[in-house]
Amino acid sequence: MRAAYIEAFGETDVLKVGELPLPEPGPGEVRVRLVAAGVNHLDVWIRKGVANPKITFPHVLGADGAGVVDAVGPGADDTLLGKAVVLNPGVSCGRCEACLSGADNLCPGYQILGEHRHGTYAEYVIVPQTNIAPKPKALSFEEAASFPLTFLTAWQMVVDKLRVSPGETLLVMAAGSGVGVAALQIGKLFGARVIAAAGSDEKLARAEALGADEVVNYNQPGWYKVVRRLTGGQGVDAVADHTGRDYWESVIKATRSGGRIALVGATSGYQATTPLGHVFYRQLTIYGSTMASKSRLFRILRLIEAGKLRPVVADVLPLAEAKEAHRRLESRSVFGKIILRVS
C-alpha cells in the first residue's frame, strides 16, 4: 500500500511517501480503505519524537480517517464490508475495569492511532471493529476525517471535565486550531458565552463567524487583562487550553476565583511556570484531559448530522504533500483542519 511514514524522528524532511506491506486484519479487526486522513498537531509531536519516542520504524502517522471497510478478520461482522465509516482514534482493551465502566481512555493499554500504532496516512489501516462508526451521509470523506480526534478531545474538556453550563463564560485558547474550533462550538451548544483567543486578526474574525461572542489576540501584551475587562474584572468561569508554556501564566490570571481550567496539550512547550499563589488562594481547579470515551463519538455524530456541530476543513492536500501539510500546521496559519486525500 502507499503510505506517508517516518523512519526517524526529526523535522518535516523525515516524512517519506512510498510503499509498505498491505496489513491484514486479525481477530475482531477490520481493514479500512482510506479516502481521507486528518492532520493533527499530535502528528507533529510524534514526528519530532516528543509524544512517543518508543515507536517502531517505519511508522505511519495519522489519528483521523474516513473510508470504506474492505476486509474483516475472524470474529468481525462481515456485514460491515463496503460500509463507509469514520474512525474512532482511541484504542483500548475493552476488558479492564476502566473500559467496562465507560472510561476507556483511562485503560492501562490505551493507544491512539498514529501514535502507538500505525495510523491513517496510508491507503489502508487496521482497527478493532469497535473503532468504526457510520460516516454521516451529509459529510464528504474529507469532512468526516477532520473531526474525531479534536471533537472528542474538546467534548471531554468542555462537557465532561469543565461541565460548562448556560450563563457561564468559557475562554477557548487557540480558537483557530482543530481542538479550538470544536471547543468553541461545543461551548456555545451548552449555553456558554465564549471568548475566543487566537494570534491573528484573521483567525479572530473566523472565530466570530463561527459563533464566538468576544475575541482577544493573545499575542498582545497583557491580553489576560482584556479578558478580565470583558468579564467585569472577574475573569472567565472556565478555560479550554492546549497552548502550553507561552500562555499558561496568563491563562491562570484570566480565570476567575473558583474557576476551572482543562488542559489537553502544550503546543508552545511543556515546561511552564505556574503561579501557585493564584491557584490555591483563588481556589482554581486544573483538569488534565486526554481524548474521551469512545462512546462520546456517537453523540457528536448525531449532533453533526443534526447541524448542531460542524467540522471545519481548512485545506485538502494529496497524500504526497504530507510534508507541506505539516509545514502549514506548524506555521500556525491554519483555521480548522488540514486533510490529506489518500485515494
Please give the domain boundaries of the chain with CATH numbers for all domains: 2-146+311-341 (3.90.180.10), 151-288 (3.90.180.10)
- Is 67 a residue whose pLDDT tops 90? yes
Q: What digits encode the pLDDT tens for the residues 84-126?
A: 999 999 999 999 999 999 999 999 999 999 999 999 999 999 9
Whole-Å CA distances, 303 to 38, 46, 227, 260, 309: 20, 31, 30, 25, 6
- Is 45 a residue whose pLDDT tops 80? yes
Whole-Å CA distances, 311 to 47, 184, 334: 25, 12, 14
Model pLDDT, residue 51: 78
3-class DSSP state of 222: coil
Model pLDDT, residue 333: 84
pTM: 0.95
Reported as a pLDDT band with limits 50, 70 and 90, residue 76 is: very high
* DSSP code per residue over 53-111: TTPPSSEE--SEEEEEEEEE-TTS-GGGTT-EEEE--EE--SSSHHHHTT-GGG-TT-E
Peptide bond into 108 cis (omega under 30): no
CA 309 – CA 248 distance, rounded (Å): 28
Phi and psi for 165 in degrees, rounded to 5?
-130, 165
Sheet containing strand 59-60, edge to edge, reads: 15-19, 2-6, 59-60
* DSSP code per residue over 255-304: EEEEEEEEE---TT-S-----HHHHHHTT-EEEE--S--TTHHHHHHHHH
Model pLDDT, residue 311: 95
Q: Is 111 exposed, middle or buried (0-12, 13-18, 19+ CB in 10 A)?
A: middle
Q: Would you say 36 and 67 are in contact if contact means Cβ atoms under 8 Å apart? A: yes
- Mean residue pLDDT of the chain comes to 95
What would the mean pLDDT of 181-189 be, rounded to a whole number? Answer: 98
Reported as a pLDDT band with limits 50, 70 and 90, residue 256 is: very high
What letter represents residue 30's amino acid?
V
- Is 201 a residue whose pLDDT tops 90? yes
